[in-house]
Amino acid sequence: MNSIISYLLLYNQFLISTIRQLIMFIVKTIPLNDFKDNHFSPKYQKFTVDALPIIKKPEKLNYKILLSEYQSKNGKELKPVKSRGGKSVPSDAICPRCGALHNYLYDNNGGRGQLLCKICNFRFDKDKENFSSNTLICPYCGCALLKKKSRKFFNIHKCVNMKCPFYLDSLKKLSPEELEEFKNNKYRFKLHYIYRELTIDFFKVDLSSMPKGSFSLIFRKFPHHVMGLCLTYHVNLGLSTRATTRAL
């Protein structure tokens, strides 16, 4: 009995030393940094999850105070906007930041709805129904994100700052061939910081507007994490619906 134990102990030591040698081999010959860089290559950026933007509430201002400040600073009053090319800003438009009336607002994009306040320099969309005065800020460079696209269920906000560390870092990670491809097909790469703002509440979906067979995510019998498990088994692990049922 004793001899077996001492033999096993010896064997154990042999295994430990072999493992140590293997680890040394891995550390010396497989460069971990390269692996990390490849893993985060901008080629695969579309599959990574970006940090959330910073939400900033612009300070509310009062146009009357701003106008009198302008007057005492410049010795003359700030004149209202002269309407250009016959197109004037609708008379019910008001700057959401400082409350300036329509005569102090510029049409900022040729009648397509964006207005610019002459008093506080705030840009806003007149026809945007759910106007929120929140600004989305890039978590990497602190610049305001630009709304680039509106899809059915989400809006895409992009950091267009060419000096943003996120963008410069993504550029640096490109291989020479990828850089060449990027110059020709910019749309294929996601190098800028992007935030997708979902405009739909998945828990309050109007089922009548959805395709037949859709169902709500509100369950009376089960907690939400059961649905999460179902999706993980069925989508991520690729189990059949029958196997998913059995797994649950």
Residues that bind Zn ion (CB under 5 A): 95, 97-98, 100, 117, 119-120, 122, 138, 140-141, 159, 161, 164, 193
User: Which structure tokens are listed for 125?
Assistant: 């969309």
List CB contacts of 58: < 8 A, sequence separation 6 or more. Answer: 97, 122, 133, 134, 135
How far apart are CB 204 and Zn ion at their closest, in Å? Answer: 32
Q: What angle do CA 83, 86, 92 make, to 5 degrees?
A: 60
Taking the least distance from each CB to Zn ion, the nearer of 98 and 191 is 98
How far apart are CB 57 and Zn ion at their closest, in Å? Answer: 15
Cα separation values, 70 from 80, 100, 103, 104, 106, Å: 13, 14, 17, 14, 18
Taking the least distance from each CB to Zn ion, the nearer of 96 and 244 is 96
How far apart are CB 155 and Zn ion at their closest, in Å? Answer: 17
Residue type, 112: R
How far apart are CB 150 and Zn ion at their closest, in Å? Answer: 21
Contact call for residues 143 and 164 (beta carbons, < 8 A): yes
Taking the least distance from each CB to Zn ion, the nearer of 1 and 52 is 52
Taking the least distance from each CB to Zn ion, the nearer of 78 and 141 is 141
